[in-house]
Structure 1
Amino acid sequence: PQEADGTLDCISMALTCTFNRWGTLLAVGCNDGRIVIWDFLTRGIAKIISAHIHPVCSLCWSRDGHKLVSASTDNIVSQWDVLSGDCDQRFRFPSPILKVQYHPRDQNRVLVCPMKSAPVMLTLSDSKHVVLPVDDDSDLNVVASFDRRGEYIYTGNAKGKILVLKTDTQDLVASFRVTTGTSNTTAIKSIEFARKGSCFLINTADRIIRVYDGREILTCGRDGEPEPMQKLQDLVNRTPWKKCCFSGDGEYIVAGSARQHALYIWEKSIGNLVKILHGTRGELLLDVAWHPVRPIIASISSGVVSIWAQNQV
């Protein structure tokens, strides 16, 4: 993407956004609990779901695009039928939810990351849940993510420890610690996988985005010492990152600044910064999503969804 290409007005304050698998629809979670679904081809609203009473903090599309799972700050996780707008299921958790994610190949399973407690894998068909094994630092926030195929779950905690669990058995197959140059640990803020290939990135509190190859992590096994393929950072401004993700083809990485509405784009293979996109001054960025098939980015700041695309000459 080269330039701003308009905004999507959601009527209510936008907080989080995510594309479906084809990039035809963009689901936006709002401050008033609504989920607004945008038709990305016409740039019009296709559906509004009055989902929650409290703000929507996380959203995920099912693989077939027929369902959405949402989490809100009132500790509720719900599954929605996109066409009808009906709620299929609702689960109440004891604490606020940081993130919800469908299993990439089995939409009967949902990974839920509650605040200050271990991640939970929900099975929707029988409403059963499994609490994932994490290190004894259970008072800390743990972030978790399925890998691209859902074979493994990667978890990361505030002490920089990454655990890789086999999804079906929850067995620990690999682990490592993210350390800064001085062997100090740094808190894991998020783990994001590319839609293609085996790469993933880790966003940490030390303001460095580390890119790894999942195959190497599995080869290194437990207490391994894998080296990141790339370390991406803004050395000039020491920018902390609010949200990072891969391009649809996995060749680029975009990171949104936690200090201002600015998007930094790097080439994954070389690690060079190729573009900085500047939004409105003084606005704070909340979320970033890269279109699965086109060079288009959606970002949210000050409750508005901005679209970034290539210049239409």
Structure 2
Amino acid sequence: MSESGGEVSAVPSTSEEKKPNNAEKKARVFDFNAIFEETRKAGQARFAESNEKAQEEGGETHAEEKIIQKDSGTVSEEDDDFLPMLPPGFVPDKSVMVGEGAASSAEVKKKVSNDDDDDEDFEDYTGDGIPTVNLIPAACEAKLVHSGKPVSALRFEPNGVRFASGGVDYQVKVFDFQKMDMSLRADKELLPVESHIINDIAFSSNGENMLVCSSKAQVHLLDRAGKQWAETIRGDQYLVDVNHTKGHTASINCCQFNPIIKDEFMTCGDDGTIRLWTLKDLKVMTKTINTHKKVIKTKTAGGKRAMPQSCCYSMDGKLIAAGCDDGSIQVWKYGNLYVNTYYLVRNAHKGPITSIAFSPDSQRILSRGLDDSMKMWSLKDSKKPLLELYDLENAFKSTDCGFSPRGELVYTGTSTPGEDMPGKLLFFNAETFELVYKIEYSGISCTRIDWHPKLNQILVGLSDGTLRIYYDQKLSTRGVMTCITKPIRRNRASEFVREEMILSRK
């Protein structure tokens, strides 16, 4: 380019423009017909060689077709090209061929009867299956000690590595199977809430968090080491509407983690509410969950406050159930506004309900009341119970009931009215409520029960402060079975060698 007198003129270039280095290269062109023809010829050559080898060995060639003679003519099997070569001397079974060579009906019946010989071994069996009593892992017993006062809370960890117990002595003891020996002593002794009775304990699905609820209006969260790392906020007891309070304002009776959502748990208390909490609302600075996620109000038939004594999730997490002090059972669908109940039985019991549990299929509810009864309800019928039992002594507000892991059995405990009458751990058939098995405790009441599905071991808390673990060496796995064979460890910290000093005069 050149510029003169304000005009711009183009200066032609003396050299030719450069071409790209690969301008003369062309893409390779493939002749698919030629490639296909070469492949076909190579295949034919290999095929001919294999036929020659087969003829030399006296076998059949691949090109030979099998023909089946019939009355109407011959039918060629065109599918032989897709089947492997038959071995030399192969003779077809004429008994299964359709045509003149087919077997008679008598021969076919004889062949079928021979195949059913194995089934005849079970014709003489008239039983209904394995006896239900054999499903109870109660062949062996291990005794542990919590304290000298009644056990009011008891729970296995979902993984089955440890369990925790709480009592009216304000203590929480953690038993770790991996650290226990033949002495069966607790691994940790905690005092999370001073001067408050422990009402319930719950573990998260991974076992990292443990809930402790007591007669205090706050829930305490402990880590695996037993240290408190969070708590729920206490509600304002001067507010009339419990929806406006951020937390419970009275004693908390029960707690449970959501079986599906690991960060969510539920509590119920004497303030007439069931509250859903989430760990996502935790304030790190104050180490407090400042508000609940949802609140559910339980009411009596007259619209007054009903105090829920027990609450639980269904196995699939879709339902929430509560047993109240007025004897009513109230169920809600999870995730709704929790205004109207999904299932309601007003007069389920004549007194407070101490425990409530869903069946493994989430279609039935088992309830235990202070009216010395236990009843089973169907979620399809709220007018009358499916089954009911009476004369089951109950003197503790936390007496448990529940289903076996597969739902064949139900269990509960009874209290002793006096030293002459024993407390009992009872197992009933879930279909008929017939007594299957019982364990008696002389002068002691059975308060808390937990049946672990993976370990297949039953943990029982008694009114004298002792614990029982029932297991079967054939049906149960790990758990306490790993502890009873470990020798007792000596406490080396208390051992010392005394060195005496000898003073002498020169």
Say whether residues 1:7 and 2:143 are aligned partners.
Answer: yes
Say whether residues 1:147 and 2:314 are aligned partners.
Answer: yes
Say whether residues 1:121 and 2:286 are aligned partners.
Answer: no
- Residue equivalent to 2:324: 157
- Residue equivalent to 2:119: none
Tell me if structure 2 keeps the 8 A contact 1:164–1:174.
yes
Structure 2: where are the runs of 5+ without partners? Answer: 1-136, 235-247, 282-288, 417-421, 475-506
1:101 pairs with one of 251, 256, 262: 256
Query: Which residues of 2 match residues 169-180 of structure 1 at below 5 A?
Result: 169-171=336-338, 172-177=340-345, 179=347
Aligned equivalents of 2:390, 2:473: Cα separation in 1: 26
Say whether residues 1:133 and 2:297 are aligned partners.
Answer: yes
Secondary structure (helix, strand or coil) at the match of 1:76 reads coil
1:111 pairs with one of 231, 255, 266: 266
- Residue equivalent to 1:56: 198
- Residue equivalent to 2:373: 208
- Residue equivalent to 1:18: 155
Deviation at 1:175, TM superposition (A): 2.4
Aligned equivalents of 1:142, 1:2: Cα separation in 2: 30
Tell me if structure 2 keeps the 8 A contact 1:176–1:225.
yes
Cα 1:239–1:292 change in 2 (3 A) is same
Tell me if structure 2 keeps the 8 A contact 1:177–1:185.
no
Secondary structure (helix, strand or coil) at the match of 1:125 reads helix
- Residue equivalent to 1:285: 446
TM-score (norm 2): 0.53
Task: Give the aligned CA root-mean-square deviation in angstroms.
Answer: 2.8
Aligned equivalents of 1:123, 1:38: Cα separation in 2: 27
More strand per residue: 1
- Residue equivalent to 2:468: 306
Query: Which residues of 2 match residues 217-236 of structure 1 at below 5 A?
Result: 217=379, 220=380, 225=382, 227-234=384-391
Aligned equivalents of 2:407, 2:457: Cα separation in 1: 14
Tell me if structure 1 keeps the 8 A contact 2:147–2:465.
no
Cα 1:51–1:185 change in 2 (3 A) is closer
What residue identity is the alignment partner of 1:19? F
Tell me if structure 1 keeps the 8 A contact 2:298–2:307.
no
Cα 1:110–1:311 change in 2 (3 A) is closer
2:394 pairs with one of 228, 240, 262: 240
Aligned equivalents of 1:296, 1:141: Cα separation in 2: 29
- Residue equivalent to 1:77: 219
How many equivalent pairs are there?
A: 296
Aligned equivalents of 1:88, 1:30: Cα separation in 2: 22
More helix per residue: 2
Deviation at 1:292, TM superposition (A): 2.1
- Residue equivalent to 1:88: 229
Tell me if structure 2 keeps the 8 A contact 1:2–1:311.
no
Tell me if structure 2 keeps the 8 A contact 1:243–1:288.
yes
Deviation at 1:28, TM superposition (A): 1.2
Deviation at 1:256, TM superposition (A): 0.6
Tell me if structure 2 keeps the 8 A contact 1:119–1:142.
no
Deviation at 1:227, TM superposition (A): 4.6
What residue identity is the alignment partner of 2:321? Y
Aligned equivalents of 2:164, 2:461: Cα separation in 1: 12
Tell me if structure 2 keeps the 8 A contact 1:116–1:140.
yes
Secondary structure (helix, strand or coil) at the match of 2:263 reads strand
- Residue equivalent to 1:250: 407
What residue identity is the alignment partner of 2:342? A
Secondary structure (helix, strand or coil) at the match of 2:413 reads strand
- Residue equivalent to 1:261: 423
Tell me if structure 1 keeps the 8 A contact 2:264–2:276.
yes
Cα 1:37–1:308 change in 2 (3 A) is same
Bigger-Rg structure (1/2): 2
TM-score (norm 1): 0.82
- 1:210-263 C-alpha deviation (Å, 9 max, x unpaired): 2234xxx2xx4xxx53553432345xxx53372212222222111110225310
Secondary structure (helix, strand or coil) at the match of 1:75 reads coil
Query: Of the two structures, which has the highest relative contact order with CA contacts closer than 8 Å and spacing of 6 or more?
Result: 1
What residue identity is the alignment partner of 1:122? W
Aligned equivalents of 2:401, 2:440: Cα separation in 1: 16
